[in-house]
Amino acid sequence: MRKIVAGLFISLDGVVESPEKWHFPYFDADMGRSVDALMRRADTLLLGRNTYETFASHWPHQDPADPMAALLNERAKVVVSATLTDPSWHNTTVVGFDDLAALKEGPGGDLGMSGSPSLVVALLRAGLLDELHLLVHPVVIGEGQRLFEDGAGHIPLTLTRSETFGSGVLDLTYERA
């Protein structure tokens, strides 16, 4: 059975919105290794529509010699959306949320997620997310979308791994309790 594994940059106050505006001062070799390992263990990238549109507007236009661009552009991509009908990014399929349980049961390796916080929460609620990797940055943003907004519900998790980077970033891995 395939696993759905999500990775997110998150601030101390739970903000996940626009990490490109606040996370780069903390990006170091340790974080690079962590992100790379998480991305490489999945053979399919699972995205929500908003994250897909952001990635699809950026990554296909990057230098193909960039290892991350090469990985993302060639990797199979699955977008969970009820509104996207004609994905333009190479190797992309669109599915509905109700198709995810069957997708997990199908052949292949892990389904990796980067971003897509609303989808991450929906997967947690539905019991479909197997691992949640949080790179907790030592910064308070003060405003923006938080991973768990009011009304997220009670979702018990178990910490299965933790590491502290020299930058002060915590690399935390959770599974459903």
Report, in angstroms and rounded to the nearest whole number, the Rg of the chain calculated over CA atoms. Answer: 16
Q: Is the pLDDT of residue 151 over 80?
A: no
pLDDT reported for residue 174 = 97
User: Are 55 and 89 within 8 A, CB to CB?
Assistant: yes
The mean pLDDT of 145-154, rounded to a whole number, is: 83
Q: Which domains does the chain have, with CATH numbers?
A: 4-176 (3.40.430.10)
Of 48, 69, 47, 51, nearest in space to 60 by CA: 69
Q: Is the pLDDT of residue 102 over 80?
A: yes
pLDDT reported for residue 130 = 96
Q: Is the pLDDT of residue 111 over 80?
A: yes
User: In the structure, what pLDDT confidence band is assigned to residue 135 with cuts at 50, 70 and 90?
Assistant: very high
Q: Please, is 79 exposed, middle or buried when counting C-beta atoms within 10 Å of its C-beta (0-12, 13-18, 19+)? A: buried
Inter-helix orientation angle 67-74/29-40, to 10°: 20
pLDDT reported for residue 115 = 87
Query: What is the per-residue DSSP string for 8-30?
Result: EEEETT-B-S-GGGTSGGG--HH
The mean pLDDT of 78-104, rounded to a whole number, is: 94
The mean pLDDT of 134-160, rounded to a whole number, is: 91
The mean pLDDT of 121-129, rounded to a whole number, is: 94
Q: Is the pLDDT of residue 152 over 80?
A: no
pLDDT reported for residue 124 = 93
> For a pLDDT cut of 90, what percent of the chain falls above it?
83
pLDDT reported for residue 68 = 85
Q: pLDDT tens-digit profile of 30-52?
A: 999 999 899 888 999 999 999 99
